[in-house]
Amino acid sequence: MPIFSKVGVIGAGTMGHGIAEVAAIAGYQVYLNDVSQDILNNGISKINWSLQKLKESGKLKESPEIIMSRMNPTTNLRDFMDVDYVIEAAVENSEVKKKVFSELDNIVKSSTIFATNTSTIPISSLAESTRRQDKFIGLHFMNPPVLMPLVEIIMGNKTSQETLEITVQFAKSIGKDYVIVKKDVPGFLINRINGRTFPEAILLYDEGHQKEDIDAMARFRLGMPMGFLELLDFTGIDISYNAALEAVKRGEKEPPHFKVLKKMVDEKRLGVKSGRGFYTYTSKVYERPKILPNDNMYSLNPLRIIAPAVNEAAWLIRNEISSPQDIEKGMVKGMGWPQGPLTFADKFGIDNIMNFLEQRYHETGNDYYQPDPLLKEMIEKGKIGVKSGEGFFKWNYERVDLGPVRYEKLHDYAKITMRRADKLNALNEAMWTGLAQAFNKAKEDREVRAVIITGEGRAFCAGDDIEMMHYWENTASVIEWSQKVSSPLIDTLSNYTKPVIAEVNGLAFGGGMELLILFDIVIASEDAMFAIPEGLIGALPPLASSVGVGFVSRKIARYALTGEWMSARQAKELGLVDIVIPPDQLEITGVEIVEKAKRVPPLSAMSIKKTINSIRNTYLDKLQMASQELVLLSTTEDFKEGMKAFIERRQPKYKGK
């Protein structure tokens, strides 16, 4: 519902005609002004075309003809005499804008509000060209105004609360959601954060990374609708360059990516419009660059993009420019981010964001990366995000220690950590039992959608602990060990109905590697090491040589029969590991995979898991057989010698008996 009757729009270019269309659709009488009749005619025919499209898709309540009857194109500003609200979308030149406003100031009613759609010029400096600074405000639309759901409302230094309230009502009346920027800062909210993310993509490119990998990381790891480089090409490299140049002219320090932009502009690599930017465009019609998910995207740390965005968001909050909620809304509705930067931060961990910024600051010496004091303060108060129950927002958090196993509920997933770092997280009785309890706890909690398992210290898990050697003394005790200690966990995992993600942080040997066969997604640090050396001590790896060979790969035979070590990449070739990642990305990649897994609804996930389990469990009789073999081996002299030599750290002397 219109909140008054007449709206004036200055400029009938890309933004102006779109804004006029939005206002007319909402029921306002619209006065659209430009310098020439030709430009106005062009704007009007574009509005007509757009209204027809909206009609065809059933999005109009009235006919295009009725809507157009409210449109009054004019080259004469005097026709604005009765308008209640003016939106200026003239060319981005402060002299032109100031001239228009000062002229209008003498034409319109004293109650009329002036809004400017400027992207870069301070609102307050434009307001000074009028005698109504209290009735002057920023109203920043996104392109195209008809389709984009959000506007930024920016307060000038002297904007009154009443002007803000009327503008909020106006935004609502034209069907737009809004964010409020309480102080007149360059870039407002969305472009301030964009001003931190786009440069990082450009710098990664300048450092020699492939454009497709950078964009693949943004799209397929962070879930952005477009890669940053393809989006830069789309909007025009010159636009970004000019925005950066304006900032430098205003006295801001030259941003680190400035030289790259300048070089591209000098070389006429302006993006889609010049046929070449980061990508090359051969067809006359715009075709999106082909960006495919690939392994290289895992070598690029998503924090390169997210950490500077969070730092900027923290600055906006600390300076009381925007609320956390508006920051999130701005980036989600304005830029199509899957979640706002603060939610990313809470999920990835404010500590990780902080460490990353400090490292970048240290590496580059550029105060562009200096962590905002708000982040430091949050860390001092223990507010590090989901894993502490509170960061920028509040989260459900629960922690229980089950012997050496820590169970944490991280809002909607669980993290299970093996915590015997001094023993390389070896599986003693308490560890086996604690793991079974933790997995069962996660299973019973309806809110838990996925489970992460990892190890503390330099190992994921070194396998069975020699402390349990007393179990291997005779047949009866081996059977008892299996029934009492290992089977409860193996049974639980064999029938588990939620996705299990392993973060392999270091060595995974013996039983530690074998358990991976029962997990669904294995992320390994690139310096992790794997082996199933049980054969070397006169035993056998029961899970690996049965379920492992059948369900994962025949190639496991090589490692079972030789005890050879393998790297994370070799384990990936085997099919045991899914993603190999630099060590500093392990934790955030786990979060990323949980986020992806949560897109599958719980019942589907359960059905998928049941099906997978049914296939994996067809090898359980082979595991039974392997367990019987282990019982037999446990009675041999070679087995005893193997154990003894292992404890005494010497070469065993095997006799084949």
Residues lying near ligand NAI in the complex (CB under 6 A) are found at: 10-16, 33-35, 39, 89-92, 96, 100, 117-119, 140-141, 143
Shortest Å, Cβ 550 to ligand NAI: 57
Shortest Å, Cβ 36 to ligand NAI: 7
Shortest Å, Cβ 138 to ligand NAI: 10
Strands 566-567 and 136-141 come out as unpaired
Closer of 120 and 173 to ligand NAI (Cβ): 120
Closer of 100 and 217 to ligand NAI (Cβ): 100
Which of 544, 528, 532 is closest to 580 using CA atoms? 528
Strands 150-155 and 177-181 come out as parallel
8-state DSSP, 548: I
Tokens of 497: 């109905």
Shortest Å, Cβ 272 to ligand NAI: 14
Shortest Å, Cβ 17 to ligand NAI: 8
Q: Which is the catalytic residue, given 140, 209, 257, 411?
A: 140
Shortest Å, Cβ 106 to ligand NAI: 15
Count of other CB atoms within 10 angstroms of residue 368? 18
Closer of 235 and 296 to ligand NAI (Cβ): 235
Shortest Å, Cβ 244 to ligand NAI: 14
Tokens of 295: 């392994």
320 Cβ neighbours under 8 A, 6+ residues apart: 182, 183
Shortest Å, Cβ 34 to ligand NAI: 4
Shortest Å, Cβ 276 to ligand NAI: 21
Q: Which is the catalytic residue, given 33, 50, 129, 191?
A: 191
Q: Rounded to an integer, what distance in angstroms lies between the CA atom of residue 154 and that of residue 178?
A: 10
Q: What is the DSSP string of 61-77?
A: SS-HHHHHTTEEEES-G
CA dist 252 to 155, 200, 203, 249, 371, Å?
Answer: 21, 18, 19, 7, 18
- Lateral strand order in the sheet of 507-509: 459-461, 507-509, 529-531, 566-567
Shortest Å, Cβ 40 to ligand NAI: 9
Q: Rounded to an integer, what distance in angstroms lies between the CA atom of residue 307 and that of residue 304?
A: 6
54 Cβ neighbours under 8 A, 6+ residues apart: 25, 60, 64, 146
**Does the annotation count 92 as an active-site position?**
no
Closer of 39 and 421 to ligand NAI (Cβ): 39
How many residues are present in the chain?
Answer: 657
Closer of 138 and 289 to ligand NAI (Cβ): 138
Closer of 121 and 485 to ligand NAI (Cβ): 121
**Residue 575 three-state SS:** coil
Closer of 141 and 530 to ligand NAI (Cβ): 141
**Does the annotation count 411 as an active-site position?**
no
**Does the annotation count 119 as an active-site position?**
yes
Closer of 170 and 460 to ligand NAI (Cβ): 170
Tokens of 118: 């400027």
Q: CA 581, 583, 588 angle in degrees (round to 5)?
A: 75
- Reported as type and span, the H/E element at residue 550 is none
Shortest Å, Cβ 305 to ligand NAI: 22
Closer of 11 and 455 to ligand NAI (Cβ): 11
> For 19-53, b where at least 16 C-beta lie within 10 A, e where not — what string?
bbbbbbbbbbbbbbbbeeeebbeebbebbbebbee
**Residue 300 three-state SS:** coil
Closer of 46 and 262 to ligand NAI (Cβ): 46
By beta carbon distance, the residue nearest ligand NAI is 13
Which ranges of 336-370 does DSSP label H, i.e. alpha helix? 341-348, 350-364
- The torsion defined by the Cα of 211, 213, 214 and 219, in degrees rounded to 10, comes to 120
Q: Which is the catalytic residue, given 33, 50, 117, 119?
A: 119
CA dist 454 to 322, 401, 516, 522, 532, Å?
Answer: 38, 14, 11, 10, 19
**Does the annotation count 173 as an active-site position?**
no
Which of 595, 616, 409, 618 is closest to 493 using CA atoms? 616
Closer of 123 and 438 to ligand NAI (Cβ): 123
- Side chain identity at 129, as an amino acid letter? S
CA dist 197 to 55, 306, 337, 358, 439, Å?
Answer: 37, 7, 12, 17, 38
Q: Which is the catalytic residue, given 21, 152, 534, 587?
A: 152
Q: CA 46, 47, 52 angle in degrees (round to 5)?
A: 100
Active site residues: 119, 140, 152, 191
